[in-house]
Amino acid sequence: MSKPKSPWGGGSSSDDGSDDKGESGGGDDAGPRNPWAQPPGGPRRAAKPTALDDLLKRARGNGSGGGGRGGGGFQLPGGGNARTLWGLGTGLVVIAWLLLTSFHTIGTQEIGVVTYFGRYSGTLSPGIRMTLPAPIATVQKINVTGIQTFAFPDANDSAPNLVLTGDGNLVDLSYSVQWNISDPQKYAFELANPDDAVKATAETAIRAIIANSTLDEVLGNGKLSIQTQVAEAMQKILSDYQSGIHIVSVALNNAAAPSQVSDAFKDVTAAQNERQSNITQARGYALQVVANAQGEAARFNGYYAQYKLAPDPTRRRMYYETMESILSKTNKTIVEPRGIAPVLPLPGGRVLTDPGAKAPAAGGQ
């Protein structure tokens, strides 16, 4: 009875179970067959892998359990599908580049300064505008209506800002400058750092004007004139540099003495305020006196006009009015002619008797 065929070949065996032949694979029944040998009829043709198989193979890292080249990351398939994906990705990038660099949204307070290869080309008004894509064209958005403010010294700087006055005194000064952009083209191209230029110009102008002013003017009623002069000086410097910047205003926020002599300056300030108060009172009194004198002069001119028309009645009326004015403010003593009023009672209980009058008879006779 024949034994079933083994997958390793159908060779005969000895009685003790050992193989009669060696392990050579000479034929079908000559000995055990090599499992790694080619099958009968030659090697079989492998099936062509599909794009999905190739994609999965690359995703697994070429079947090496994630240890293949590229660290097992995802890789695009090769062949025609790879060219399609690369073309699609490139198209999306180009479209995004065109949208982001060709269309510009200009705000209502802004002006867009356009340059082509770095050369000024023009400006864009507010709205959605289109230019050539970058790097061919670039657009710089500039706020032309908003007012910017610089404060000196800076809020984070606690050190005093000492400025020398024309009479040799030091004053701790804080001020602010408001400005805007009048010419976007000049602002964008004439100065490398326009904001720093405004700060430097403000420092130069304020020190020049304070150096020609006295301490009383800086601390007192000369602030308005100093602010105007500083604004004009700053505008002249920035205009000479073609900066495209317009100075709106300059404000002296605080002008005080250095902390080392603040008490003495307080006394000086109090004395100046008292002096100014006295001057104001004196001027008020002078105006009152002048007004009264002018009224008296006008009244006299009226009397004179009446006197020229009727001298005697006017003279008599003026005499009566004058006597009435004088006698109404004094005690009066009236002495009648002899023999009419022998006894005249006076204030204080005194009795004035006319020496030429006769004494009244007893019993009132």
At 80 the pLDDT is 58
Q: Give DSSP secondary structure letters for 63-79.
A: TSTT-STTTT------T
Look up residue 109 and give its DSSP letter: T
Rounded average pLDDT per 10-residue block, the chain, 365 residues: 52 47 45 57 60 64 46 51 81 84 83 85 83 84 88 81 88 92 89 91 94 86 92 95 93 84 80 90 95 91 86 87 84 66 55 49 43
**Of 142, 148, 139, 138, nearest in space to 110 by CA:** 142
Adjacent-strand bridge partners of 115: 120, 138
Q: Which alpha helices (DSSP H) does the chain contain, by range?
A: 51-59, 80-102, 184-189, 194-210, 215-219, 223-240, 262-309, 311-327
Q: Give DSSP secondary structure letters for 155-221.
A: TT--S--EEE-TTS-EEEEEEEEEEEES-HHHHHHT-S-HHHHHHHHHHHHHHHHHTTS-HHHHHTT
Whether residue 333 contacts residue 354, with contact meaning beta carbons closer than 8 Å, is answered with no
> Domain 148-256 belongs to what topology?
Tetrahydropterin Synthase; Chain A (3.30.479)
At 291 the pLDDT is 94
| Residues in contact with 93: Cβ distance below 8 Å, sequence separation at least 6, in sequence order | none
Cα–chain center distance at 125: 24
Residue positions counted in the chain: 365
At 46 the pLDDT is 58
Residue 290 half-sphere exposure toward CB, CA atoms < 13 A: 6
User: Helix, strand or coil for residue 287?
Assistant: helix
At 65 the pLDDT is 44
At 81 the pLDDT is 73
Give me 147's structure tokens. 């007012």
At 75 the pLDDT is 52
Scan for tokens 């080619």, then name that residue.
Answer: 38
Adjacent-strand bridge partners of 130: 103
Specify the amino acid at residue 144: V
At 335 the pLDDT is 66
Scan for tokens 């603040």, then name that residue.
Answer: 262
**Of 194, 161, 191, 192, nearest in space to 176 by CA:** 161
